[in-house]
Amino acid sequence: MSFRGRRSGPVNNTKFYKVLGIERDATDTEIKKAYKKLAIKLHPDKGGDEEKFKEVTHAFEILSDPQKREVYDQLGEEGLQDGGGGGMDPHDIFDAFFGGGIFGGGGGARRGQRQAKAPDVQHVLKVKLEDLYKGKTTKLAITRNRICSKCQGNGAVDSSKVSACSECRGTGIRTQLRQIAPGMVQQLQSHCATCSGTGEVIPPSARCTKCSGEKVVQERKVLEVYVEPGMEHGQK
């Protein structure tokens, strides 16, 4: 949660409109139309300028969100600081806007690099005091999550089918900006219900048939565990 006060000096709230080449009273449709034209022209995969592409996408991110646009119109960029001013990957915003990318699935390839990683698992093994003193080899049956071998952890039959969640724009977090007083804005954050906080959406028909889009599968394995002589209670 954060608050920003009104600046004492003049507010610069025209930059983003100029970047997109639109008027301050532009409609949502006009904002999207301007972004679409510039984003395709400036996209790095089409030989465009990376920095200008980022600038255009950031301007679109702010002006396409009614709450952020209202804050920007009143307080300028300063009013959007402390987490309220975007910061998403511009390529994820582009992919979400165009439904997964239009230049050969580049967005899917980038997201494919952020594969799920199964966390380390710890199990409690009960042994006798004699076993701690003398040492012992015993067996332990465990069930653990493993990265799905069929989809390599992206959850889809084809990585290009994975797209950034349009509801949270790929962040996994919903941000709400609420004006509580003139010149004061309250920021609230919560997990996105649409993508369950993952930031990604996979159509049901495109989900991996082995893991059902969960990215991991359960595996049962029997391990041999060696209890070393002299080990202490609770030792890992």
pLDDT tens track, the chain, 236 positions: 343 444 455 678 899 999 999 999 999 889 989 998 998 889 888 888 889 999 999 999 889 888 888 888 888 888 777 545 556 788 878 877 765 555 544 444 444 444 444 456 677 878 888 888 888 888 888 887 788 888 888 888 888 888 888 887 777 777 777 777 776 767 677 888 888 877 888 999 999 999 988 888 888 888 888 888 887 777 77
Residue for token pair 């209890």: 227
The pTM assigned to this predicted structure is 0.47
**Closest by alpha carbon to 103, among 152, 62, 43?**
43
Residue for token pair 């997109």: 20
Q: How many other C-beta atoms can be found within 10 angstroms of the C-beta atom of residue 107?
A: 27
Residue for token pair 């949660």: 1
Give the pLDDT of residue 103. Answer: 52
Question: Angle 90-97/28-42 helices, nearest 10 degrees?
Answer: 120
Instruction: Name the residue ranges covered by the structural domains of the chain.
Output: 1-114+163-201, 118-158+203-236
What burial class does residue 77 get, using C-beta atoms within 10 Å of its C-beta: 0-12 exposed, 13-18 middle, 19+ buried?
Answer: middle
Fold classification of 1-114+163-201 is: Helix Hairpins (1.10.287)
Strands of 52-172, DSSP E: 136-147, 163-164
Total residue count of the chain as it appears in this document: 236
Burial 188-220 (b: 16+ CB within 10 A, else e): eeeebeebeebbbbbeeebbbeebebebbbeee
CA 68 to CA 176: how far, in whole Å?
9
* Chain-centre distance for alpha carbon 149: 23
CATH number attached to the domain at 118-158+203-236:
2.60.260.20
CA 169 to CA 60: how far, in whole Å?
12
